[in-house]
């Protein structure tokens, strides 16, 4: 195998195996930053040896073995091995093991639990949201610092600083490498879900830049969500988030035209929607609903997405039901953005005047003062009411507020297309 092919193989193996590697090591050394350093040491060893020896038959196992040996050496050097060995040897079933065997067994324990612990640690509420995103993509998603920086259009040095500070904060706070229980677990799970959905949304509608979509981020978020659903099968909100992302991702091919221009939901060619992803999303939603209990925010959003996914044509959409679901969502997770979405649904279900009434009530919301979709929604409703000049002004204002070039082009085109006499 050529050296370039070997390095591509190493990159692929690292993307798949690094979360498992870091998770197992973090449980041993109880330090996420140190665990990543040890995993990186194993990667360096692979980069040195595999071009000469070839990629091993089981590259993940090779990396884990290299990391284990480095961890054992480090524990010995730091004088931590005796304490760790004593903890492990206290268990009756390992009394006769050597130190190395006991430490290896500690790493080789239930990796599923370790990945769950790693997710909960990387998304700890003590970290600011941007740090949680960076750390999760780095450690659980297996992305490089360069890839994260490119995805979010920020300097690589900024991402590197966020990751370093996050690891330092976790170590200083003594955050335990564990899945919390009770009320703390609910709080932390909300943080995990928030981070995964934030990553997905940035891929689904990029905040800034020239492109509307960043499919790689959507794929990373979906992968993380699917892993979490396997690890926490009794959590309805986890399945709800997966359902929501699957159904939204199903529209990717229909959301842009030949030149990358955005295509609005009602104008999309639904034959281009991915029916496999829609089926997966509906199945995840069914799993969430079978678990019973009150419907949470992600389950409700998935139900709204399902309402669109089940409609083979825009005219078949059950808008009254979607408006009702948005009202239920607003009661569960109050947000001006949820209310703005309800305004759209109300306008479709009960007429533009009713929709505009809901949207106008949001004009005093400080959180939406610079949010481009509020004037965009108002502009659409005003146009339907025949208030042409107001509609054009709102669309133009919406274009001035967005930081995404493709959205700006769409909004300006819509403003120019508004015409005819006032009614």
Q: Which range has the worst mean pLDDT, 125-134, 326-335, 352-361?
A: 125-134
Gyration radius of the chain's alpha carbons: 25
Q: Domain limits of the chain?
A: 3-109, 111-175+182-211, 348-423
Q: Grade residue 143 by pLDDT with cuts at 50, 70 and 90.
A: confident
Q: Are domains 111-175+182-211 and 348-423 of this chain identical in fold? A: no
107: pLDDT strictly greater than 60: no
pLDDT mean over 191-218: 74
Q: Return the pLDDT at 59.
A: 83
In the predicted model, what is the mean pLDDT of the chain?
85
Structure tokens at 2: 């050529």
Output 66 or 347, whichever has higher pLDDT: 347
322: pLDDT strictly greater than 90: yes
pTM of the model: 0.74
Q: Are 123 and 191 in contact (CB under 8 A)?
A: yes
Q: Return the pLDDT at 164.
A: 93
341: pLDDT strictly greater than 50: yes
Q: Return the pLDDT at 94.
A: 43
Q: Secondary structure of the chain in the HEC alphabet?
A: CCHHHHHHHHHHHHHHHHHHHHHHHHHHHCCHHHHHHHHHHHHHHHHHHHHHHCCCCCHHHHHHHHHHHHHHHHHHHHCCHHHHHHHHHCCHHHCCCCHHHHHHHHHCCCHHHHHHHHHHHHCCCCCCHHHHHHHHHHHCCCCCHHHHHHHHCCCHHHHHHHHHHHHHHHHHHCCCCCCCCHHHHHHHHHHHHHHHHHHHHHHHCCCCECCCCCHHHHHHHHHHHHHHHHHCCCCHHHHHHHHHHHHHHCCHHHCECCCCCECCHHHCCHHHCCHHHHHHHHHHHHHHHHCCCCCCHHHHHHHHHHHHHCCCCHHHCCHHHHHHHHHHHHHHCCCHHHHHHHHHHHHHHHCHHHHHHHHHCCCCCHHHCCCCHHHHHHHHHHHHCCCHHHHHHHHHHHHHHCCEHHHHHHHHHHHHHCCCCCC
pLDDT tens digits for range 68-89: 888 877 777 666 545 555 554 5
Into which CATH architecture does domain 348-423 fall? Alpha Horseshoe (1.25)
Output 58 or 206, whichever has higher pLDDT: 58
Q: Return the pLDDT at 64.
A: 81
Q: Are 263 and 257 in contact (CB under 8 A)?
A: yes
pLDDT mean over 152-177: 89
pLDDT tens digits for range 220-268: 889 889 988 988 899 999 999 999 999 999 999 998 888 878 888 999 9
Q: Return the pLDDT at 321.
A: 98
Q: What is the CATH number of domain 111-175+182-211?
A: 1.10.10.10
99: pLDDT strictly greater than 50: no
pLDDT mean over 390-411: 92
CA distances from 194 to 2, 214, 377 (A): 42, 18, 25
60: pLDDT strictly greater than 60: yes
Which percentage of the chain shows pLDDT scores above 70?
86
């Amino acid at each position: 195998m050529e050296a370039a092919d070997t390095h591509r193989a190493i990159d692929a193996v690292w993307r798949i195996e690094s979360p498992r590697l870091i998770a197992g090591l973090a449980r041993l050394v109880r330090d996420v930053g140190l665990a990543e350093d040890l995993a990186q040491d194993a990667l360096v060893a692979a980069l040195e040896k595999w071009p000469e020896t070839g990629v091993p038959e089981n590259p993940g196992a090779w990396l884990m073995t290299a990391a284990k040996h480095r961890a054992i050496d480090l524990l010995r050097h730091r004088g931590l091995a005796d304490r760790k060995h004593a903890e492990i040897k206290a268990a009756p079933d390992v009394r006769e093991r050597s130190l190395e065997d006991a430490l290896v067994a500690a790493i080789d324990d239930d990796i599923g639990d370790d990945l769950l612990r790693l997710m909960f640690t990387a998304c700890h509420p003590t970290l600011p949201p941007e740090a949680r995103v960076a750390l999760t993509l780095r450690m659980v998603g297996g992305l490089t610092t360069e890839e994260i920086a490119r995805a979010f259009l920020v300097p690589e040095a900024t991402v590197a600083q966020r990751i370093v500070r996050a690891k330092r904060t976790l170590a200083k706070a003594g955050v335990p490498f564990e899945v919390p229980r009770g009320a703390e677990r609910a709080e932390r799970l909300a943080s995990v879900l928030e981070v995964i959905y934030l990553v997905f949304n940035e891929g689904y509608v990029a905040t800034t830049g020239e492109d509307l979509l960043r499919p790689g981020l959507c794929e990373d978020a979906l992968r993380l969500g699917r892993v979490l659903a396997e690890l926490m099968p009794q959590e309805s909100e986890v399945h709800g988030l997966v359902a929501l992302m699957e159904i939204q991702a199903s529209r990717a091919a229909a959301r842009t035209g030949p030149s990358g221009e955005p295509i609005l939901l009602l104008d999309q060619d639904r034959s281009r929607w991915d029916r496999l992803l829609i089926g997966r999303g509906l199945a995840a939603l069914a799993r969430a609903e079978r678990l019973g209990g009150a419907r949470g925010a992600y389950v409700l959003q998935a139900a709204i997405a399902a309402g669109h996914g089940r409609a083979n044509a825009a005219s078949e959409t059950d808008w009254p039901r979607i408006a009702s679901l948005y009202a239920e969502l607003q009661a569960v997770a109050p947000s001006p953005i949820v209310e703005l979405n309800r305004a759209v649904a109300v306008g479709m279900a009960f007429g533009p005047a009713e929709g505009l009434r809901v949207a106008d009530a949001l004009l005093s919301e400080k959180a939406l003062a610079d949010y481009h979709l509020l004037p965009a929604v108002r502009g659409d409703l005003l146009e339907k009411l025949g208030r042409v000049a107001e509609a054009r002004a709102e669309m133009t204002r919406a274009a001035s507020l967005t930081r995404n070039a493709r959205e700006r082009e769409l909004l300006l085109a819509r403003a120019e297309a508004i015409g005819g006499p006032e009614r």
